[in-house]
Amino acid sequence: MIEARRLHILRAVADHRTVTAAAAALYLTPSAVSQQLTALEQETGHRLVERGAKGVRLTPAGEILLGHTNAVLAQLERAEAELAAYGSGEAGTVTVAAFATGIAQVVAPAVARLADTAPGIRIRVQDAEGDASLPMVLDRQVDVAVAVEYRGAPPADDPRLTHVPLYAEPFDAVVPVGHRLADSAEVPLADLAKDAWIGPYPGNPCHEVVVLACESAGFEPRLEHSSDDFRAVVALASAGAGVALVPRSALNGMDLTRVIVRPVDGVAPTRRVFAAVRRGAEGHPLIRPVLEALGRAAQEA
């Protein structure tokens, strides 16, 4: 008989590629993870992982079991959801990981709405960049992620997750007052090819959006200043340090007196935001109202 907790460990090893990283995500020791993998191999009668200099990879038998693991764990999430519904499940805590502007745009309004519509649900919010929250959901560190689509992200049909689209927003060009394009109604990105740029660090999904947009316009941006905080990005642009692309919602409430904000000429780069939960958990009586409240907040934003 295969133990479900060992399937969690197998998936964590497959996701993180090393025993040490999987152990850290699961709050276990590396030796405990190795012992559980050995036990799982004994239960199945197959070698499931191979260790090498670059980490751990699944064997063909491990890949077969991983496919079933995703289905089994999703079904267990559904079972928990139905049992919680049977027992009413109207009170409890849901942890949501989201990036800063996502918190302002949809999470905070959802928290306010739930205080009225589902007062028994307590929301705990954690600030996490758009590419960090999905692993947190898969590792069961949080219940819901508000994340951003990015290259390499789990796709919408990933068997481990259920995606709920929330909103899409364009990036606007931000240039210093007095910039040569300040009087333009729209800013062609190609005309900024020789400027110094300000933007998020590599690894941040917004960094990728900026770089891909500039590449599509025929150039590689010369990123001289880096910050994941868009207030810092705008402050640097205000100081004349360079130009930037900033998601429109991130500009809300900022001091824009020393910058010019203009739409991008042509097809604007876009940030697509979604909520994600472990597949099967979307029907949980605590999680379902949270997803509905996030969706309503996105519609009203």
Interior CA angle at 217 toward 214 and 218, to 5°? 95
Instruction: Judge if 214 and 258 occupy the same domain.
Output: yes
- Say if residues 17 and 62 touch (Cβ distance below 8 Å): no
- State how far the alpha carbon of 238 is from the alpha carbons of 148, 150, 164, 211, 232, in Å: 27, 28, 36, 21, 10
Residue numbers of the domain that contains 290: 90-166+272-300
pLDDT of residue 246: 96
Read off the pTM: 0.73
Residue where one domain finishes, among candidates 23, 56, 83? 83
Q: What pLDDT shows up at residue 238? A: 96
Mean pLDDT (the chain) is: 90
Cα distance from N-terminal residue to C-terminal residue, the chain: 49
**Joined tokens for residue 210:** 């900026």
Q: With contact defined as beta carbons under 8 Å apart, do 290 and 125 qualify?
A: no
Q: What is the pLDDT of residues 41-73, one digit of tens each?
A: 888 888 888 887 778 888 998 898 888 888 888
Task: Tell me the pairing of strands 55-58 and 92-98.
Answer: unpaired
* Residue found by looking up tokens 């394009």 in the block: 181
| pLDDT (tens digit per residue) in 87-100 | 666 678 899 999 99
172 with 258, same domain: the answer is yes
Q: Of 16, 48, 83, at which residue does a domain stop? A: 83
Number of domains in the chain: 3
The CATH number covering residue 267 comes to: 3.40.190.10
Is 58 in the same domain as 190? no
Residue 213: predicted pLDDT: 93
Statement to judge: residues 267 and 277 lie in one domain:
no
Express each pLDDT in 138-183 by its tens digit: 999 999 999 998 877 888 889 999 999 999 999 999 999 999 999 9
Tell me what the mean pLDDT of segment 242-265 comes to: 94
Last residue of a domain, one of 15, 49, 83: 83
Examine the domain organization and report whether 175 and 242 are in the same domain. Answer: yes
Q: Are 273 and 104 in contact (CB under 8 A)?
A: no
Cα–Cα distance for residue pair 99/141, rounded to 1 Å: 16
